[in-house]
Structure 1
Amino acid sequence: MNRAPVQPELLIWARERAGMASADLAHRFPRIGEWEAGEVAPTLKQLQSFANAVHVPIGYLFLPKPPEEALPIPDFRTMDGAGVQRPSPDLLDVIYSCQERQGWYREYARAHRLPDLGFVGSASTDDAPDTVAATIAATLGVDVAARAACRNWEEARRQMIAQAEEAGVLVMVSGVVLSNNNRKLDPGEFRGFALADTRAPLVFINGADSKSAQMFTLAHELAHLWLGATAVSDAGAAPVPNARREEVWCNAVAAELLVPLAAIESDLTTDEDLPGLTARLTRKYKVSTLVILRRLLDAEWLSRDEFARAWAAERARLRQLAERSASDGGNFYYTTLTRVSRRFARALVESTLEGQTLYRDAYRMLGSHNAAIFERPTQ
């Protein structure tokens, strides 16, 4: 029996990279403890199965030592004021797939002579966030009253995504890697990222996050596009010590875009208690309660101490809520368009049906081999 010449430390690195313990894999690989101890080596077939289980290219396992893996785009995330060190294979694979889609769409846009989008890179962190938020709202047609008329967060999110795509942004929303429902994305690792490009600007939103949180992430990543800044983010309304200037600025733009200060000030009353006010404004603006609390602080309706207590209490309440049911299932057709961007899917289907793109490549970029996407219009 031929054994694979693999270093035990590579096996340990690959398992830890995937966030797994030995016990998580023991049912599939009963001798994994012996492999990692160097007492016996896996066969090549076993090594291939192991590589698939931990989502690592098998070639990595034949290296003399673990590779230094860095994100292929700037990392603006922070945890306790420090950068996040090791990206998960799920995050890496999502970024790589989005970069491939963006590259394809960039060439498509060039071949079809689509105009450059002047708003990408049109702002700087020296610009006032409220001015840039007003520009984004005007460019996309974002309107507070129209969002307030939406029945729920899902409808409001769809409306804003459609507005961004109409302006030329590829918006991709998924809670899993490609179409693999066994590889769920962790909102605790990242909430979204932006890939800035004047022909193919792209925003990815972690669909495993709550709908209300996704609204803020979308607004935050749009601000990144206006900066012309490619980056992965953990966007949130909370004041974060030692946060990067770009993230503070993008958060300010996102908050003003979704909940304009002038609008919320006109909504405030002195005789309403905080829970009632928060619930009412959350329903109107279709954002999370945390965003509303931050805007109440900005409007000086809450003091710093009141905000800190309310924020901590709300975070605790949200943590206690039962996990919502997964939303990435359901209708295959709509789910696919959401995951890869309706604008991107329309261009890819058109190119494939015209014979300009191979079906093999189209299926890979769609993350699915279901032919239904080619049998229905993507308008």
Structure 2
Amino acid sequence: MLKVNGKMLTWAREDCGLSLEDAALKLGYKDSKQSSAAEKLLHVEKTGEISKSSFTKAQTTYRKPVLTYYLNEPPIPTSVGEDFRTPESASDPRQNNIVKAILSNVVARQSMIKELLVTEDEVQHLKFIGSLNMSMEPETAATKIRKLFDITLTEYRKGTDYGRSFNYLRKKIEAKGIFVLIKGNLGNYHSDVEVGTFRGFAISDEIAPFIVINHQEAKSSRAYTLLHELTHVLLGKTGISADVGEDKVERFCDRVASLVLLSDHELKYFSPATELFSQLSKDISDFALAKKVSSTQVAYRLFQLHKITSSAYRKLCKFYYEQWLSSKKAERNKDGGGPNQNVIKKSYLGGIVDFVHRMFESGAISSTQAGIVLDTHPTRLGNFFNNATPH
């Protein structure tokens, strides 16, 4: 028998427009001499005690994330914010339905974390949320972000690994109270969402701001996407983004994110060889690696500065995209030896692991609730907590 919030069971049922009688039938309850099926479901909703089989049926029938049933209050319906994608980006019905399910899961997760911060008296109103505005020059906004999050480009660019640079940036942002999650499916690769449909998602909230990055995003572009979504948070604009955005807010976020990592001044003195395409693509790739930005981003900026032609830019985009596809294919074809799936999942969750660990140790949440937030079985929590930051 499971223990959930009965009030949330009632809300989920009513939100689907189901009566007690109809829902009881769908959840498998039957009339008996002692009570009707509807009365049995009413008892479950009052006590919050429900069998595993009935709970599984409730999830399917009510179409709500598991996290929902452990909240004290329903998540705010408008919290998914604005859709900043182009119509083309949101045109695939199947992919779009998966995106909706991902966002529903993220919103429920954010609601639970926010609720924990409030009930455990750990609320710190983050005054910098909404501190940017669209009237700012992108250069000014970029400088403000570097200062606010103590981002040092020298440190960011150390080494030859894009992953290290992303982690440096992520830790700086999480240290300020923003949760950063990497998620682009519903728990298996069959539900992977392409970056063209969903690149990132931002919840701009003063108590528990969230940033989500699609795990399909190229590692060389994750820092840029993180900063793009961070700009959304600082603008006070909750919403979803795709690979291409034509909205003025998207263009502003793109420009700011790019400038945080690479100034126009630095690009001014970069003059790649343009005679041979092979040399041009290599020069840009080498420069991009040194600055820890994507080659496509550098090519776009060079095009904006009229340092390369539009045809060269299009050819470069195609070339780098094909390179990325080849690297993805090679990664999929690796025979074992890759990182443990628990390690991958933990890295995707980031600072959420430490937060849940601390809440679990203090008794604020049960092992079941901790497992739900971390999307793992309660018996496997040790795999996540063994190397969590001690408190």
State the TM-score, normalizing by the size of structure 2. Answer: 0.70
Residue type at the aligned position of 1:336: K
* Contact 1:217/1:235 (<8 A) preserved: no
Cα distance in 2, alignment partners of residues 234 and 279 from structure 1: 24
1:211 Cα deviation from its structure 2 partner: 0.4
Cα distance in 2, alignment partners of residues 314 and 338 from structure 1: 26
Secondary structure in 2 aligned to 1:325? helix
Secondary structure in 2 aligned to 1:88? helix
Cα distance in 1, alignment partners of residues 154 and 234 from structure 2: 24
Q: Which residue of 1 aligns with 2:39?
A: none
Q: Which residue of 2 aligns with 1:250?
A: 253
Structure with bigger helix share is: 2
Secondary structure in 2 aligned to 1:203? strand
Matches within 5 A, 1:75-224: 75-80=83-88, 84=91, 86=93, 88-110=96-118, 111-177=120-186, 179-224=187-232
Cα distance in 2, alignment partners of residues 324 and 159 from structure 1: 26
Q: How many residues align?
A: 315
State the TM-score, normalizing by the size of structure 1. Answer: 0.72
1:242-276: per-residue Cα shift (whole Å, max 9, x none)?
x1111111111111112221122234367895223
1:100 Cα deviation from its structure 2 partner: 1.8
1:143 Cα deviation from its structure 2 partner: 2.4
Cα distance in 2, alignment partners of residues 188 and 298 from structure 1: 22
Q: Which residue of 2 aligns with 1:365?
A: 373
* Contact 1:100/1:365 (<8 A) preserved: no
Q: Which residue of 2 aligns with 1:377?
A: 388
Cα distance in 2, alignment partners of residues 192 and 353 from structure 1: 31
* Contact 1:97/1:365 (<8 A) preserved: no
1:72-114: per-residue Cα shift (whole Å, max 9, x none)?
432111155x754745343222212211221122233333344
Cα distance in 2, alignment partners of residues 181 and 71 from structure 1: 27
Secondary structure in 2 aligned to 1:339? helix
Cα distance in 1, alignment partners of residues 181 and 225 from structure 2: 12
Q: Quick one: percent identity of the two aligned structures?
A: 20
1:169-216: per-residue Cα shift (whole Å, max 9, x none)?
100013432x44553333232111111101111100111221012222
Matches within 5 A, 1:209-288: 209-235=217-243, 243-268=246-271, 273-288=279-294
Alpha-carbon spacing, 1:317–1:371, altered in 2? closer, same or farther (3 Å): closer
Q: Which runs of 5+ in 2 are unaligned?
A: 1-27, 29-55, 64-77
* Contact 1:196/1:228 (<8 A) preserved: yes
1:36-68: per-residue Cα shift (whole Å, max 9, x none)?
xxxxxxxx9xxxxxxx9xxx93457xxxxxxxx
1:374 Cα deviation from its structure 2 partner: 4.0
Secondary structure in 1 aligned to 2:82? coil
Alpha-carbon spacing, 1:125–1:374, altered in 2? closer, same or farther (3 Å): same
* Contact 1:76/1:83 (<8 A) preserved: no
Q: Which residue of 1 aligns with 2:37?
A: none
